[in-house]
Structure 1
Amino acid sequence: SKDASVYIFDEPSSYLDVRERVRVSRLIRYQVKASRYFIVVEHDLAVLDYLSDHVHVIYGEPGVYGIVSQPYGVRVGINAFLDGYLQGENVRIRSTPIAFSKSLSGQQAEAEFKYLEWSRARVRLNDFTLDVEPGYINGGEVVTIVGPNAIGKTTFIRFLAGEVKAEEGGPFTYRELKVSYKPQYVGPEFFPEGMTVADVLRASNPEAVTPGTWLYVELTEKLGLVKLFDRVARELSGGEMQKLAIASALSREADLYLLDEPSAHLDVEERLAVGRIVKRLTENRKAAAFVAEHDVMMIAMISDRTMVFSGEPGLHGIAGSPKRVREAMNDLLAELGITMRQDKESGRPRINKEGSYLDRLQKAKGVYFEV
């Protein structure tokens, strides 16, 4: 609402659901004029792609130094970041590229690995009611959960974790399952008193604090927790607590992982590292995972199937049955009024600019998620 020549937004998508991220992105785009400049710092690459005309990649050593790249066109810049090589500067910023599957339709695990099933259920919490459609999850499968804030996503995860009970219906398993749960909000009370970061990780899995192991390299180091080893867990900042809770949950040997908004407070590299870990754990251990998430890029990266939540926020939620990613995302995007396509080079999903040729073409075909 302020009249200015330069507007600066620092992570505008934080705490926003998918619908709100699109609305904020549109509001910013609508304000762009020849006499106005907008500078946006953002970790959600789909939002960044939709918002931007040009991008700068910032790389370096966190907490030590940072380097701002020359400007790139938005598609070229984001793809260069994912590839880990900035051709314009002839600089490699990452040893390995970040790859997306060229098929985002989802690969459903075989039925003989079915781990958990739930019947039609109703959960009441004070004035809020969640109606759950029946479904199941297979071993080796990641089911993502998407929808507006206050629509029951966290309630559903707590329902699966056994923290809240249904008035009717409920989950049942085909064998005894070890469950690892990362709640949405993590405070000091989440960690045992007096334990350091290293103590918490060691209690979850000694490999998480053992240099050279896969967990240490791909999770503990990538989340920047090594430099925090001697810090008391309860004295960490909110973002650091979130990272520790994620690493602790993913380090545990479990059959079922329940992760509520794991990308919150994480930068792009950390989000993608968590995504890779989730996929590898489920594939290698034949474990199953439910992930409630707002980052479309993360959803596309890790999903085998997706549950779309709808209803009236704060009053009544409906948890849809898991569907293949293409079908579920098409339903969600149609409700939001936006279209997405797959980038041919990187495989990542891209939001079409509103009113563009591709946006109008996909809406005319009724294909909101083109993969």
Structure 2
Amino acid sequence: MRVAVLLKDRCQPRKCNQECIKFCPRVRAGVPETIFMGQEGKPVISEELCIGCGICINKCPFDAIRIIGLPEELDQDLTHQYGENAFRLFRLPIPRTGIATGILGPNGIGKTTALRILSGEERPNLGDYDDPPGWDKVLDNYAGTETGRYLKRVADGDLRSATKPQYVDQLPKVVKGKVRDLLESVDERGELSEWVPRLNLDNALRRDMSELSGGELQRVAIAATLMKDADVYFFDEPSSYLDIHERLRIARVIKELSEKKQVLVIEHDLALLDFLCENVHLMYGTEGAYGVVVPAKAVRHAINIYLDGFLKEENIRFRDSAIEFTEHPPRNTAAMTELLDFPAMKKDFGPFKLEVGAGTIHHAEVVGILGPNATGKTTFVKMLAGVLKPDEGKLDAEIKVSYKPQYIKTDFEGTLQELIYTETPQLYSDSFLKAEVTRPLALDALKDKKVSRLSGGELQRVAVAMCLARDAQLYLLDEPSAYLDSNQRMECAKTIRRVMEKSGRSALIVDHDVYFIDMLADSLMIFGGDPGKHGIAQGPYDLRQGMNRFLKDVDVTFRRDQETHRPRVNKPGSRLDREQRAAGEYYYAVRGEA
């Protein structure tokens, strides 16, 4: 089965010589119907006539064509297609009562499309985009299946759904007014008084939506979803903007809900997904071209398959190599040369005060920074970067710093290629950076895209790359995993790690994803205190000591999966949880069942 996809946002016929048509061997052999200019002024590719040679892919100057070979069996599983040579989705995930079901896969392969179909916002067309079938034909197609039984409830209007949207930072643009007014308007279950304290929203109730931080917007969106009286609940990336304390709190709340309702969760934080869900649907595909939903598997098995990158049942390899985790031995810092000794520092903003203990950063060291939101992590990074000056304590060392802020904003009007040539042309000219940064972060595929049109994840990859490209001794990256899918997070972590090891430079990384920090950090700084009022920073500690301190405060223990060595959250009160707490080993057990 051959799938031909034209990425219309990349295709620019006025700026090319129609190489896809001119060099097509079938067209040159006298079969012009193979690929021709359609009514929209863009190429149309016949999947029946295409021989899959790939010449059009290589000749297209804008990387706008995808020709993909898929198993013939999938032809019977086509759920939805948006048009000729357009994105298509195969199969659907199905939520089940009594457990939380997860969806795990890259961005741009149809997870949100699946939610729209399951919530009744869109009717599946089974690939017939010119003459979409009615519900009768759709239900006949799925007769006798679990998917069919679910869709019948959707078709009959017998299924109420509630969806927590993905991009909560866009909420203030569509929802105006006070938080209390919003929550009261959606409280169909009379549970406002329960969810406000449980989701720590007391201080947000009297404020306007436009005044909320990203974390507050996320918690408001989750509360609004929970208070709706529905049969099935969809949570699209509920961990964004939340620290690990908040993520685990939200996970417990969603698990409670799943005991009596159907719950489906899209999540890229693998530790959270592992803790929250019993079953997971993997998804694979090509961004913007197609997506395939894999039947649900037990969460441990699903995540391990995802990390390995090979789906045995369908004989599909969706990643070139497996993602590996290692049990970090403590580094001998005595043998490492010091880059920066920072003194004890204080910063007083009036309502908020930050105290930082003295510490040392070494050459070629990656220091992770963990802690609750609003405890001064970004303030500390800004003091090291010279953006803010401490009220007490002075940084004597003169070192060159490259800084990627938490919130990325740009008003650049040109393409990404133009931005890079203006700001960091070395990403294209330096062979080391091209191999270690530009390619792994997949920037070439974005080069002709307007910067203003980049998604949050695309903009994040660009910001990380530009930060790493600058000539500096210390690289400060504030939440580099935000907006990235699981695969992109792992690639980003490996990229940062490789650059520091090979260049002998050092980095400080603020993030809330435990997998991400575990993959790249040598040591940890731990932030605590009273969020929004008083922050206290300590360290750096070696990774194991730092994780033990941090996880003890979070009140959760981790173990290592025996197969992949990835960190896994222990079930509270389980034998391993009790044993590790007694031994003071919150980070991972030296031995134990996975």
Q: TM-score, normalised by structure 2?
A: 0.58
1:124 alignment partner in structure 2:
348
2:305 to 65, 74, 80: 80
Code of the residue aligned with 1:160 in structure 2: it is L
Give yes or no for contact 2:436–2:498 (8 Å, CA) kept in 1: no
Secondary structure (helix, strand or coil) at the match of 2:539 reads coil
| Partner Cα separation in structure 2 for residue 54 and residue 219 of structure 1 | 35
Per-residue CA distance 1:20-77 (angstroms, 9 max, x = gap):
00101111122332x5322110000000111111112111111111111222221111
Matched, 1:349 2:567: yes
Q: Residue 533 of structure 2 aligns to which amino acid in structure 1? A: L
Which of 268, 273, 280 is the matching residue for 1:48?
Answer: 273
C-alpha distance in structure 2 between counterparts of 1:39 and 1:49, whole Å: 14
2:536 maps to 1:318: yes
1:169 corresponds to 2:393: yes
Report the equivalent of 1:19. Answer: 245
Match of 2:461 in 1: 243
Partner SS state of residue 320, structure 1 = strand
Q: Give the aligned residue type for 2:512.
A: H
- Which SS does the other structure have where 1:231 is aligned? coil
Matches of 1:45 and 1:74 in 2, distance apart?
Answer: 10
Contact 1:204 / 1:251 at 8 angstroms: preserved in 2? no
- DSSP-derived class of the 2:384 partner: helix
- Contact 1:55–1:73 (CA under 8 A) maintained in structure 2: yes
* Maintained 8 Å contact 1:106/1:303: no
| Consecutive aligned runs of 4 or more in structure 1 exceeding 6 Å deviation | none
Contact preservation (8 Å) 1:201, 1:247:
no
- Paired letter, 2:532: G
Residue 111 of structure 1 and its aligned partner are, at CA, apart by 4.5
Q: How does 1:1-371 map to 2 (within 5 A)?
A: 1-33=227-259, 35-101=260-326, 103-109=327-333, 111-173=335-397, 176-189=398-411, 193-203=412-422, 205-206=424-425, 208-209=427-428, 215-216=433-434, 219-371=437-589
TM-score normalised to structure 1 length: 0.91
Q: Deviations over 1:102-161 (max 9, x none)?
A: x23543555442111111111123422110100011111100001011110000000000
Mapped to 2, the partners of 1:9 and 1:215 lie a distance apart of 37
Cα distance in 2 for partners of 1:67, 1:315 equals: 47
Cα distance, 1:303 vs structure 2: 0.9
Unpaired runs of at least 5, structure 2:
1-226, 590-594
Partner of 1:259: helix, strand, or coil? strand
Q: Quick one: distance in 1 between partners of 2:566 and 2:436?
A: 21
How far apart, in 2, do the equivalents of 1:151 and 1:187 lie?
23
TM-aligned CA deviation for residue 238 of structure 1: 4.0
1:209-243 deviation line (CA, Å, top 9, x unaligned) = 369x5644654344443333123334534443322
Distance of aligned partners of 1:108 and 1:65 in 2 relative to their CA distance in 1, 3 Å threshold: farther
Higher relative contact order (CA 8 A, sep 6+): 1
In structure 1, how many angstroms separate the alpha carbons of the residues matched to 2:409 and 2:526? 28
| 1:70–1:208 distance in 2 versus 1, CA, 3 Å | farther
Q: Residues 277 and 204 of structure 1: is their aligned pair in 2 closer, same or farther, counting only changes over 3 Å? A: farther
Closer, same or farther: CA 266–316 of 1 in aligned 2, 3 Å? same
Instruction: Flag the 1:139–1:48 CA change in 2: closer, same or farther, 3 A.
Output: same
Q: 2:429 and 2:278 mapped to 1: Cα distance? A: 43
Amino acid at match of 2:305: A
Q: Which amino acid aligns with 2:545?
A: E
Q: Aligned equivalents of 1:253 and 1:280: distance in 2?
A: 16
- Rg larger in structure: 2
Please identify, of 91-100 and 194-203, the stretch whose mean Cα deviation from structure 2 is larger: 194-203
CA offsets, 1:261-281, max 9 Å, x none?
000111111111110011101
- Give the whole-Å Cα distance in 2 for the aligned partners of 1:14 and 1:228: 24
Q: Deviation of residue 248 (structure 1)?
A: 1.0
How far 1:89 moved relative to its partner?
2.0
SS in 2 for 1:99: coil
When structure 1 is superposed on structure 2, of 285-294 and 55-64 the one drifting more is 55-64
CA contact (8 A) 1:123 1:166 kept: yes
Instruction: Give the Å deviation of 1:202.
Output: 3.5
**Equivalent residue for 2:104?**
none
Gaps of 5+ in 1: none
Q: Deviations over 1:147-176 (max 9, x none)?
A: 011110000000000111111113333xx5
SS of equivalent to 1:171? coil
CA distance in 1, matches of 2:518, 2:336: 25
